[in-house]
A and B are shown apart, each in its own frame.
Chain A
Amino acid sequence: MSNTMAGPTHWDGFEHPAGRVAVGVAGGAGGWRGSLLHIHIAEAASFEMEELAEARCVAGRGIEGDRYFLGTGTYSPKPDVREVTLIEQEALDALARNDPPLQGGPIQLTPELHRRNLTVRGVPLNHLVGRRFQVGEVILRGGRLNFPCKYLEELLGLPVYLPLYNRSGLNCSIERGGIIRPGDAVLPLDA
């Protein structure tokens, strides 16, 4: 693909307009404990995602080997929060049972297809904009809600746009880097 821009401009999660506002607003969910199920990266836009048994997260850059770390993703020239993207396994489960029934039938959006880096279970992602949380030894900052794009729908040939609305996951920056592995605990901080 030749649709790559010069290089990634990452915003810290709390610098993004959404994250900045959310930081100053009370709320969010505490007392939960989730886990990391899968790690996926793609080396460039449109490339098939690859599952990793272990990944290095680098603060200010992203996951080693991923398109946004390498600057080979597809995105607009505006700075954004995209060092790490997460999605809830529960959202994928809902799609698989066609709930709510927004499309013709169940959609099996497997973790290697959805193009988010981390698939997590038991983590209330929509509550984490403007919040810090931990994935294993790594600390992430919730910057903005992810939203589905038509590009994904086209790439997969699956009508995922509407059913992913409002549960498309969370875009984060990395506050403290480190190594993560599937099975790592995901925990709220400062909650």
Chain B
Amino acid sequence: MTARIIQKLRVAAVAESTPEVRVYTLEHPRKPLLPDWSAGAHVDLRLPDGRMRQYSLCGEPGPQPRWQIAVKRETVGRGGSAWVHDSLAPGTEVQVSAPRNNFPLAAGAVRHVLVGGGIGVTPLLAMARSLAAQGADFTFHLCARSAALAPLLAELRVVCGERLATWFGDEGRRFDAALIGAPEAGVHLYACGPHRLIEAVRAAAAERGWAEAQQHYEVFQPTLDENFKPEPFELRIASTGEVLLVPADRSALDVLRERGFALPSSCELGVCGSCVCGYRDGIVIHRDSVLPVSARQDRMTLCVSRARVSVTVEL
């Protein structure tokens, strides 16, 4: 579980990147610097009703006076992006958490392959900035319907130069996931974007034998699995031995909170990692898209993941 400070930041500027995407520049009303961050990090924006939405930082990583986030207005979204577009203007205050990074650049890599689709380019732009500054070897595949609808295209061209390959549908150029190539030692793959794109990249990587540890994905939308039938299960509290029943229609997080546990959470969709908790003695049905495979043996997200019959949580 990770708690993060929430600050009230001021919108310093709003710029249109595409007809659907706006870039918001945020600053602290009193402090010269915002918390330090590394490429791939995201912050949570708190909506007026208390819900949180995750946005990747896309400016220059490090301790900076300002942050940039790019927000696409989603027509079929959960209302967060519409609120941002309709309510945030220069001078408005907004509650923003300190950054968290679930999608960091791999340390010690010799080459990086970045694949971004649509608004998914935001964390990758920050990565490209870091890599370019280090003089690292990288390629950036940018997928969008057209150049006009590709968010942050101008910035990407400046940062990546020749290393940018654009795949715009209206030009008849479609990204072929086979382009990721063979998994050489020290090469790391990063993908962020629509579900379809991520699945294509995953499939191509699996087919070519890329190791799990060389692949990095970030998905800011819940994986909807209509066939999943939640079953009730028992939660045993490691410290007290107390057993709580989680009914089929409720989450472990809800049940624990009702019992009086003050637990952090943010997205409650299995994408942010705020509610991660240790567990043992049980088979967990992982339904999040944040925990890496290597962490799934002993960590679970309490907001969406469930267990078969019972599990002991480290609380």
A positions within 8 Å CB-CB of B: 1-3, 5, 44, 46-48, 74-77, 151, 154-156
Cβ–Cβ contact B1 & A48, under 8 A:
no
> Whole-angstrom distance from the CB of B152 to the nearest CB of chain A?
29
| Main DSSP-derived SS at the A contact region | loop
Contacts of A156 in B (CB 8 A): 5
> Whole-angstrom distance from the CB of B284 to the nearest CB of chain A?
22
Residue B50 lies at the interface, judged by CB distance under 8 Å to chain A: yes
Cβ–Cβ contact A3 & B4, under 8 A:
no
> Whole-angstrom distance from the CB of A66 to the nearest CB of chain B?
15
Chain B residue at minimum C-beta to C-beta distance from A43: B8
- 8 additional A-B pairs beyond A3-B264, A154-B3, beta carbons within 8 Å, are A1-B264, A2-B50, A2-B265, A46-B5, A46-B97, A76-B260, A151-B3, A154-B1
Contacts of B257 in A (CB 8 A): 3
Residue B6 lies at the interface, judged by CB distance under 8 Å to chain A: yes
Contacts of B264 in A (CB 8 A): 1, 3, 46
Contacts of A154 in B (CB 8 A): 1-3
Out of A44, A75, A77, A155, name the residue touching B4 (CB < 8 Å): A155
Contacts of B97 in A (CB 8 A): 46
B positions within 8 Å CB-CB of A: 1-8, 50, 95, 97, 257, 260, 262-266, 268
Chain B residue at minimum C-beta to C-beta distance from A44: B6
Question: Bound state CA distance, A75 and B264, in angstroms?
Answer: 11
Cβ–Cβ contact A5 & B50, under 8 A:
no
> Whole-angstrom distance from the CB of A4 to the nearest CB of chain B?
8
Cβ–Cβ contact A1 & B2, under 8 A:
no
> Whole-angstrom distance from the CB of B256 to the nearest CB of chain A?
10
Contacts of B50 in A (CB 8 A): 1-2
Question: Bound state CA distance, A1 and B264, in angstroms?
Answer: 7
Question: Bound state CA distance, A5 and B257, in angstroms?
Answer: 9
Chain A residue at minimum C-beta to C-beta distance from B275: A3
**Could you pull out 19 A-B pairs where Cβ atoms are within 8 angstroms?**
A3-B257, A3-B262, A3-B264, A3-B265, A44-B6, A46-B3, A46-B4, A46-B5, A46-B6, A46-B264, A47-B6, A47-B95, A48-B6, A48-B8, A76-B260, A76-B262, A77-B260, A151-B3, A155-B4
Contacts of B263 in A (CB 8 A): 3
Contacts of B260 in A (CB 8 A): 5, 76-77
Question: Bound state CA distance, A26 and B308, in angstroms?
Answer: 57
Chain A residue at minimum C-beta to C-beta distance from B36: A157
> Whole-angstrom distance from the CB of A111 to the nearest CB of chain B?
14
Cβ–Cβ contact B5 & A155, under 8 A:
yes
Contacts of A46 in B (CB 8 A): 3-6, 97, 264
> Whole-angstrom distance from the CB of B313 to the nearest CB of chain A?
16
Contacts of B6 in A (CB 8 A): 1, 44, 46-48
Chain A residue at minimum C-beta to C-beta distance from B46: A1
Contacts of B1 in A (CB 8 A): 154
Knowing A2-B50, A3-B257, A154-B2 touch, does A74 contact B262 (C-beta < 8 A)?
Answer: yes
Contacts of A76 in B (CB 8 A): 260, 262
Most buried by B among A47, A75, A76, A151: A47
Question: Bound state CA distance, A76 and B50, in angstroms?
Answer: 20
